[in-house]
Structure 1
Amino acid sequence: MTWLITGGAGYIGSHVVREMAGRESVVVLDDLSTGRAERLPQDVPLVVGSVLDGGLLERVLAEYAVTGIVHLAGKKQVAESVARPLHYYRENVEGLRVLLDAAAAAGVPRFLFSSSASVYGMPDVDLVTEETPCRPLSPYGETKLAGERMVAAAGSAHGMATASLRYFNVAGAASAELADEGVFNLVPMVFERLTGNEAPRVFGDDYPTPDGTCVRDYIHVEDIASAHVEAARRLERDPAARLVLNVGTGKGASVTEMIDVILDVTGRTGLAPVTEARRPGDPARVVASADAIRRELDWSARHDVRAMVESAWAGWCLRHGLPVPA
């Protein structure tokens, strides 16, 4: 059994690789546009290239006798997708089509797709289930929804067991060197402000939530990785699988609650947050229902918010020359 993991040198991908490599034979395909080779274990083969290269895919699938694919490669920044929609459709949709075409031609029987809670848009529900209508608000979200549908259709047509995992707000790191290097989400955005001795910013405190700030479902990247392992095992056992599952904790944390934890972990409690105007398009609450993944995969998240923040802070300190917490 050999799994090809596309985008395996990236933030989430490197965690998935390390989790799966201890149980399965793994090979990584990554163009290294955002990934880093040094994230990977030394005994995991790395092929540098793009999923848009059908000839390369054909050779890799044959050379490594690939029997399953975990597809994490792609572009993922919402704002960038609005500015460059055609680029996102090329990378995320056409790239997936080329990969599925190669997988079908090679007779690969299993395909696991990295999706996103962005497919839901602004759901007006207490808990987002897999049956909540999908109304993505950005080209990024649109490409993920199109990807899910393409994966399901290819699975039905070519006899592949398939699963699409819809991640919610990913944070944390298994170790400092694997931490997220982007500054696009709440946790690193607050770290950046604190490092510059600036107060964290809260965008709107008048939402219909208990403390007036937005509520999100934050999930540790190690839990994301373990969910991949369980999904891969399910695809191995069930050749008729057609799964679409949320990956979240089922619990929400507000922006204010998250900032309080961050200030405590970093020791910067003197920098009280400042409130600014709402950002357009921010829903008040987006929290996963985790019932389906618990039922289908016997999986649930193990890490809490503090563990996410502590591990993310260690990674931030390592990259910015600050003392790394013990």
Structure 2
Amino acid sequence: MLKRTKGWLKLKKFWAIVIVGILITLFISRQGNNGWAKGVIQKGDIKEELTLSGVVEADEHIKLVFSTSGKIASVDVIEGQKVAKNQQLAKLDTTLLHADYERAVSDLRDAQSTVDRALDSVKNHDKDESFTQKETRTQAEVARDKAYRNLVKAQQNLAEAVLRSPFDGIVSQIVDIKPGINIIYTQSFIEVINPETIYFSVAADQTDVSKITLGQPADIVFDIDQDKSYSAEIIFVALTPKLDETSTVYKVKLKVAEVENLVSNIKVGMTGDANFTISEKANALFVEEKFVQQDKSGEYLLTGANKEKVNIETGIEGDGVVEVIGNVHEGQEIYDQP
């Protein structure tokens, strides 16, 4: 037992010496640079990028509802089916609606006959029509006008009992409702989308929106497939801020060049990032951002072993680096104050 204890103590002493040695080495190294971070001025291509997050949307995308409640008579399409503009998608039972329509037609004929009779009674009395005759004629004409409006309403109700596609597209979703089931007019029933109108929507704040323009290219990377990027370009920049946002942001729409490939992999509602190149420059001198110092006189670098102050101007800002312009050169040593 005593031998094992002595061995353990020797092992602890060994590791203590190692740790102390490491600490001394780090201390000496830090003292050698006095805590200054060292770097060099580099030369190469630099570009400033802007990344905006967004979501896939479509200009022609709608969730259809009936304008009136009723019983489903037929569902004439299936999910995934291509449909044409004005094609019938579904229909309500029109038994009662037809009865209302026929009643409105009869009421209008009856009201018109009353008007004809009233007009016949005042025929050739344009200048001496009595008050009673005028009252009778006016009442008949008012009744006829009401009957006509009721007929128009009955015709409209019949037309709205048929659900039609407002554009060419694909039926993307149908609520699980069968013929014979009652549906209320506020309930979404069939969803239709035109894949050719799919776009990527981003929101840019008032600083970022000033950096982008119509036709500007971008690369879009979707969250579900970050190994692939899609080429796109800006097709719309809003002139007014979005109404549903608490801050001042503007809607920007991007059209993807490979829209057919996009539709097969990406769906409405999916999210991603649009990357824009704001500016770029070849053979530029640049440094890490932390090496750029600033005082009342402007921006500067600390160069050489003597940490000489050299005034500069900064240009394009890249990913953690910034272009430097002035009396400096590639490979020049620079320092960051501790």
Q: Which has the higher contact order (CA 8 A, sep 6+)?
A: 2
More helix by share: 1
Which TM bucket (shorter chain)?
Answer: under 0.3
Larger radius of gyration: 2
- TM-score normalised according to structure 2 size: 0.17
More strand by share: 2
- TM-score normalised according to structure 1 size: 0.18
